[in-house]
Amino acid sequence: MFSKRSRYYKQDTVEVAAGRLESGGKRTVKVLSLRRLPSIEGVPLVVKDRDRLDCLAYLQYEDGARFWHIADANTSLEASELLAETGGTLQFPEK
């Protein structure tokens, strides 16, 4: 379902009740289970104007799609928030 480079690759799915059908039966859907963020040590990185997580990931991992490693290390669900403040610091996980 997800690319091997996705943060959701190998994530378990669960069936949950999602209401009732017109016929009276229960409707269920498959959803991803909650993904706990691991505690990750990293190297501090000061955010510069116009930084982009995909570019930083490419420099570190030679793979821009791994930007989510940086987001996870900083426990952010919205990656763009990590770069919102120039001069802020984020943890940059090692390979």
Which domains, from first to last, does the chain contain?
Answer: 1-36 (no CATH), 42-93 (3.10.350)
Q: Closest Cα partner for 69 from 86, 87, 57?
A: 57
Residue-wise pLDDT for 21-70, tens only, equals 888 788 889 888 877 766 677 889 899 999 999 999 999 889 998 888 88
Q: What is the pTM of this model?
A: 0.62
The reported pLDDT for the residue numbered 55 is 94
The reported pLDDT for the residue numbered 39 is 67
Q: Closest Cα partner for 18 from 6, 35, 31?
A: 31
Average pLDDT over residues 74-90: 84
Q: Are 40 and 71 in contact (CB under 8 A)?
A: no
Structure tokens, 1: 């379902």
- Torsions phi, psi of 66, nearest 5? -90, 20
Pairing of strands 89-93, 26-32: unpaired
